[in-house]
Amino acid sequence: MIAEFGLAALWLAAALAALQLIAGALAVSGRGGELAGVVRPAAVAQGLLALAAFAALIWAFGETDLSVKLVAMNSHSAKPLIYKLAGAWGNHEGSMLLWVTVMGLAGGFVALVERRLPEPTMLATLAGQAFVSLGFYAFLLLASNPFARLDPPAAEGQGLNPLLQDIGLAFHPPTLYVGYVGLSIAFSFAIGALVTRQVNPVFARAMRPWVLGAWVFLTAGITAGSYWAYYELGWGGWWFWDPVENASLMPWLAATALLHSASVLASRDALRAWTVMLGVVAFSMSMVGTFLVRSGILTSVHAFAVDPTRGTFILALLTIYIGGALTLFAIRAGTVAEGKRFAVVSREAALVFNNVMLTAILGIVLFGTLYPLFAEAMGARVSVGPPYFNPMAALFAVPMLIVLMVGPMLRWRRDRFARVRGPAAIAALVAVLGAIGLALWAKGIGALPFIGLALAPALALASLLPLRGRDPRRTPLPVWGMVAAHFGVAVALFGMASESAFSVERLVAARVGETAAVGPWQVTLRGVEPVAGPNWTALRGTMIARYAGGPEHTLQPQARSFWTPPQSTSESALLTRWNGQLYTVFGEETDDGRWQLRLWWKPFAPLIWLGGLIIALGGALALAGRVASDWRRRIAQARIADRQASRQELRAR
Amino acid sequence: MAVNTIKPKHQRLVLLVIALVALIGAALLAAWALRNQASYFYVPSDIAARPPAPDRAVRLGGMVERGSLRQEPDGVTIRFMVGDGKARVPVRFTGIVPSLFVEGSGVVAEGKLGRDGTFIADNLLAKHDERYVPREMRDMTTQQARAVVAQTK
């Protein structure tokens, strides 16, 4: 019953999206009349219905309704409740339902609160959002119905991939999707602005908080996903340039560029066409990523069941939306007026540089991700990994980070470099001293980690300099946000470079009681015992670790065997200190009765994710500042309107 | 280039040209780097016919021959033969093997071909579960040998 309710809600939501599209389109073309009033309520109702459908799916998973095919395929009655619930989106259909739910709710939220844009632009935006949603409703209802029944019901479910049975599943996908799909708002704003020829600072100011919100979630989602992959896979790496990771990184790069160019448009009325273009590109990258992952044309651990019809369907959606939006852009770009001018040394120019570099990195990542497809068309089977991505991305990231050190201190429109020479010299001095220190005391580290370690402290210092000479209590929140985000970049950079430069790995086969050294740690295997969970059994190694002769710490990594589906995972055990992380993995028994242990000491590795969180926090601060000032302005405007109304009333008497 | 000596239209043109140059430069660099850095996929008969350069990262796919798996005294290094029915390549791997790695099943090894003809694997990709098969392995089953199909599927 619940499943049918969910399906009905989904069909209704799709119908409302159609209504929203038609009413919006008619209203924009001036033939809508009364229909214009329908658009906002339709958007809100559509979002709530999609949410109801999603809740129905979670309900079905929660009670393990095995007459629902999706539940039978992906769940199991013996699974802990949290993984039953989170398992609702740990599969293709469920994750697409999460996608349309986020999309519907985002559209509804915009319809509810956004009042800054001229009404026609707003209607065109909501119609655009409905147009995109409609395609994904069609995809869900026609090619991947999550509520399909199974007759007769299964006796028991097939279980969830054990790698997904982790608390990370509860946080990472929803967070990531809010960001990933939230960018659809930027896409729709761009469409709305192009259709009604309203590409101007008002558009940028209205769009900015929405992009910022999506970006905060995207940043947090990528950070969470990276940490999850790091501890769950047991491989000791935190970024693999896997197609799916790239699929989340590409929208992030585009959204980061969009945030910066939107601030130029909002503050200085420049970069009009470029900002609109990025609005289109950001969400297009989300859709391209979904296509790559869900069509199964690229191998990835995130590729759920592979079904060729789905790939074709998503490819058709891609062509319609991206092709359509780019065509609209091509037609209207000529009518977008030139923006204001700026000098070569100015805040705008620094932000243009940031945008070009981010876009170049985006191109590098996109090209590398798609290359195996091109190569396969030519008859060669290849894979592209870190040897390509790392140096190529760094080639553009390093100049960007250098400009980042001075960019925020430059004035809008026109500045002299001499004015920021002092701070720039200090940052350069820190970088040079860092490089000399590394050359002397850390010989033999790779070129990229060397650059990263030398740049990070200078960048951290430079990112704080915009606060210089400001009264902390009077500094606007968005400035704090910018400073925090840039500081977070420096922190993450330091973590990445340090992890890659100084990680020590040790692979040993040890008898119980034997000790192995890894970096400053002495790790002793104290015992091995079997343990059991609700749907798994495991061998657990107990290790005692001492840092440079200090106190003893206990770590208990496991080698787990799940029985539905039959699969093993290794549950790593981590020990975090202020200066790094000890990472332990428990392997198999060797032929002569020893136990395989894999140990890493990763100095300052946790800074990678701490930096990611600081970046997201910076975005959240900026968002809070923008929302607060909009709120104040709205109240002030209401008060002025009120006063004028009462004045007129008095005069009328 | 002072602010007031340049027309807005020209500024737009200049920006466009800069962006295009940067992006085309990035694309050219990427194309060049990909030719050198992409890791090609080999099956044992490819390696026998035209072996890759010794320091080049490649991927080797095939079946782990039954009875060929040996563990070295250090307890963490294994040696085995990978075959495709026509040729066979010895492989050495140091690390914890994936759980579904067993003799007689398919494997994709990432690594380099050593000078002595032994493939030094940095990483082994085994069949994860019935829903996730490395793509090359899926292709190999149709392209290489029917016998392989029966075992991997």
**Which chain A residue's Cα is nearest to B20?**
A356
The whole-angstrom separation of Cα A312 and Cα A242 is 22
The residues near A244 (Cβ < 8 Å, ≥ 6 apart) are A289, A292, A293, A300, A301, A302, A303
| A75-97: average pLDDT | 89
Q: What is the pLDDT of residues A625-647, one digit of tens each?
A: 999 998 998 899 889 999 999 99
Cross-chain CB nearest to A338 (options B4, B12, B100): B12
pLDDT at A306: 56
The token pair at A71 is: 């539940």
The whole-angstrom separation of Cα A369 and Cα A288 is 11
**Which chain A residue's Cα is nearest to B123?**
A235
pLDDT at A426: 93
A322: DSSP letter: I
Among A37-46, A415-424, A434-443, B132-141, name the one with the lowest average pLDDT: B132-141
pLDDT band at B128 (very low <50, low <70, confident <90, very high): very low
pLDDT at A436: 94
Cross-chain CB nearest to B129 (options A273, A344, A567): A567
The token pair at A315 is: 């490819």
Q: Which residue has the higher pLDDT, A86 or A380?
A: A86
Chain A residues in contact with B135 (beta carbon < 8 A) = 298-299
Which residue(s) pair with A597 in the sheet?
Answer: A508, A586
Which residue(s) pair with A570 in the sheet?
Answer: A559
Give A 160-199 residues with CB within 8 A of chain B. Answer: 161
ipTM value, please give it.
Answer: 0.81
pLDDT beyond 80 at B98: no
What Cα–Cα distance (Å) separates residue A297 from each residue in A97, A289, B139?
Answer: 22, 11, 12
Residue position matching structure tokens 């009042």: A115
pLDDT beyond 90 at A304: no
User: Which run of H or of E encompasses A225?
Assistant: helix A201-233
Q: Which residue has the higher pLDDT, A503 or A534?
A: A503
pLDDT band at B147 (very low <50, low <70, confident <90, very high): very low
pTM comes to 0.92
Nearest to A251 by CA among A205, A299, A192, A292: A292
Verify whether the Cβ–Cβ distance B26 to A339 is below 8 Å: no
Among A123-137, A569-583, B39-53, name the one with the lowest average pLDDT: B39-53
pLDDT beyond 60 at A128: yes
Chain A residues in contact with B27 (beta carbon < 8 A) = 363, 367
**Which chain B residue's Cα is nearest to A370?**
B34
Average pLDDT of chain B to the nearest whole number: 77
The whole-angstrom separation of Cα B15 and Cα A504 is 46
Verify whether the Cβ–Cβ distance B41 to A383 is below 8 Å: yes
pLDDT beyond 70 at A497: yes
User: Mutate which of B4, B12, B42, B102 to test chain A, going by most A C-beta atoms within 10 A?
Assistant: B12
Chain B residues in contact with A343 (beta carbon < 8 A) = 1-3
DSSP string, A288-321: HHHHHHHS-SS--TT--S--HHHHHHHHHHHIII
pLDDT band at A29 (very low <50, low <70, confident <90, very high): confident
| B74-86: average pLDDT | 88
pLDDT beyond 80 at B15: yes
Strands B119-126 and B88-94, sheet pairing: parallel
The token pair at B98 is: 């994936």
Q: What is the pLDDT of residues A339-371, one digit of tens each?
A: 888 888 999 999 999 999 999 999 999 999 988
pLDDT beyond 50 at A159: yes
pLDDT at B4: 52
Q: What is the pLDDT of residues A129-157, one digit of tens each?
A: 999 999 999 999 998 899 999 888 888 88
pLDDT beyond 80 at A463: yes
pLDDT at B136: 52
Chain B residues in contact with A359 (beta carbon < 8 A) = 19, 22-23
pLDDT at A626: 93
Classified as helix, coil or strand, B124 is: strand
Distance between B114 CA and the closest CA of chain A, angstroms: 19
Chain B residues in contact with A391 (beta carbon < 8 A) = 33
Which residue(s) pair with A547 in the sheet?
Answer: A521
pLDDT at B139: 52
| A527-542: average pLDDT | 92
| A269-293: average pLDDT | 90
Express as a percent the part of chain A with pLDDT over 70: 98
Nearest to A246 by CA among A372, A330, A345: A372
pLDDT band at B138 (very low <50, low <70, confident <90, very high): low
pLDDT at A234: 80
| A221-247: average pLDDT | 89
pLDDT at A596: 92
Instruction: Determine contact: A338 vs chain B, CB below 8 A.
Output: yes
Distance between B5 CA and the closest CA of chain A, angstroms: 10
The whole-angstrom separation of Cα A36 and Cα A141 is 28
Express as a percent the part of chain B with pLDDT over 70: 76
Among A181-195, A584-598, B120-134, name the one with the lowest average pLDDT: B120-134
Instruction: Determine contact: A391 vs chain B, CB below 8 A.
Output: yes
| A281-304: average pLDDT | 75
**Which chain B residue's Cα is nearest to A381?**
B41
| B1-12: average pLDDT | 64
pLDDT at A378: 82
pLDDT band at B131 (very low <50, low <70, confident <90, very high): very low
The whole-angstrom separation of Cα A251 and Cα A268 is 25
pLDDT band at B153 (very low <50, low <70, confident <90, very high): very low
The whole-angstrom separation of Cα A2 and Cα A489 is 46
Give A 355-374 residues with CB within 8 A of chain B. Answer: 356-357, 359-361, 363-364, 367-368, 371-372
Which residue(s) pair with A602 in the sheet?
Answer: A581
pLDDT band at A453 (very low <50, low <70, confident <90, very high): very high
Q: Which residue has the higher pLDDT, A34 or A639?
A: A639
Verify whether the Cβ–Cβ distance A391 to B33 is below 8 Å: yes
Express as a percent the part of chain A with pLDDT over 90: 68
Chain A residues in contact with B3 (beta carbon < 8 A) = 341-343, 413-414
pLDDT at A606: 96
Cβ A191 vs Cβ A261: under 8 Å: no
The token pair at A260 is: 């910066």
The whole-angstrom separation of Cα A246 and Cα A242 is 6
**Which chain B residue's Cα is nearest to A566?**
B129
Distance between A467 CA and the closest CA of chain B, angstroms: 28
